[in-house]
Amino acid sequence: MKDNFNRKIKHIRFSITSKCQYSCLYCDSEGYSKTNELSVEEITKLCKILAEILDVTKIKFTGGEPLCREEIVEIIKNVSELNLYKDISLTTNGLLLSEKAEELYKAGLNRINVSLGSLKPKVYRKIYGVDTLDQVLEGLEKAKTVGLDPIKLNYVLMKGLNDTEFEDILNFCAKNGFILQLIELHEVSDVLGGNGDFYAKHHLDLSPIIKDLESRATKTIIRGSMQNRKVFILPNSAVVETITPSHEFCMGCTKLRVGCDGNLFGCLYRSDLGKNIKEALRNHQSLSKYEQIVKQVVDSREPFY
């Protein structure tokens, strides 16, 4: 299914809980803050419906913190057993990874993104509000050992907080075979109260760093099916993917988002344009009814920038 800007939906980003152990300074709550969660059965059913209607084969689970959802292994197993998704991933703060990575992998999880804004315990604590860097590093080791691949580190760069750590984190990634996702801080949607002051104080335009990466890279790839993200391969084999909000970025967006309460929406900044599918799921509607809801959401998608 394509939207009015000729963008086909290729990925689902599914928040399964709004619960989280962290209080990240920058958190966008994935565009949504409601806590009324879909049940495991509803999540599985919705994943099946979306794969059938949209012909998507990629899904990423998020939150809140997805590993805070007690039934996370069951959810991954159920979705894997649908045999409809070729790529099942999740994004996590990593705190519970050492405990859960093996079970998750066995249940059918292919790969993960882990938020890692600093390798310095004090800075880590400042950004995330918790003193858990060591557990996260252990979790990364475990994830590697059990075979989750690739492992990507989400590094949101913030002026005055962690902007001096880029090269250290890059070397850490190269040494461990992790892919670095260098993310420009974005504003939090007004629907969620915004993050105006924080953004103004800590936002850093990534263009100069990207220019530098361009000059150092042995190869540059544009991920046309993923928001036109640029990926740089550096001489030491480090791989850096850059995520910077822009019109080009929005025009390459092929994601449909699902909030943990069943709200379907097409843009992180416009969860207010969403349509909730929970009632339809509970009333066991026909595929055409679900299709009608999904089509309304897809039609509401427009580039934010």
Minimum distance of ligand SAM from residue 1's CB (angstroms):
25
Minimum distance of ligand SAM from residue 31's CB (angstroms):
9
Q: Which is nearer to ligand SAM, 65 or 165 (CB)?
A: 65
Q: DSSP character for 273? A: G
Question: If you write DSSP's letter for every residue of 109-141 in order, what string do you get?
Answer: --EEEEE---SSHHHHHHHHSS--HHHHHHHHH
Q: Which is nearer to ligand SAM, 37 or 65 (CB)?
A: 65
Q: Which two tokens stand for residue 164?
A: 């001096």
Q: Which is nearer to ligand SAM, 33 or 285 (CB)?
A: 33
CB neighbour list of residue 271: distance below 8 Å, 6 or more residues apart: 31, 32, 189, 191, 257, 259, 263, 265
Q: Which is nearer to ligand SAM, 49 or 127 (CB)?
A: 127
Minimum distance of ligand SAM from residue 275's CB (angstroms):
22
Is residue 54 within 8 Å of 294, Cβ to Cβ? yes
Q: Which is nearer to ligand SAM, 47 or 185 (CB)?
A: 185
CB neighbour list of residue 58: distance below 8 Å, 6 or more residues apart: 10, 11, 12, 85, 86, 87, 89
Closest CA to 116 of 150, 159, 166, 79: 166
Is residue 135 within 8 Å of 141, Cβ to Cβ? no
For ligand SAM, the binding residues (CB under 6 A) are 20, 26-28, 30, 62-63, 65, 91-93, 115, 154, 156, 183, 185-186, 188
Minimum distance of ligand SAM from residue 97's CB (angstroms):
11
- Which SS3 state, helix, strand or coil, does residue 201 take? helix
**Max Cα distance, the chain (Å):** 56
Q: Which is nearer to ligand SAM, 28 or 103 (CB)?
A: 28
Beta strands 111-115 and 87-92, pairing class: parallel
Q: Which is nearer to ligand SAM, 112 or 264 (CB)?
A: 112
Is residue 258 within 8 Å of 63, Cβ to Cβ? no
- Give how far Cα 15 sits from Cα of 23, 65, 90, 118, 243, Å: 17, 9, 10, 24, 20
Minimum distance of ligand SAM from residue 24's CB (angstroms):
7
Is residue 124 within 8 Å of 172, Cβ to Cβ? no
Minimum distance of ligand SAM from residue 19's CB (angstroms):
10
Minimum distance of ligand SAM from residue 91's CB (angstroms):
4
Minimum distance of ligand SAM from residue 6's CB (angstroms):
27
Q: Which is nearer to ligand SAM, 93 or 290 (CB)?
A: 93
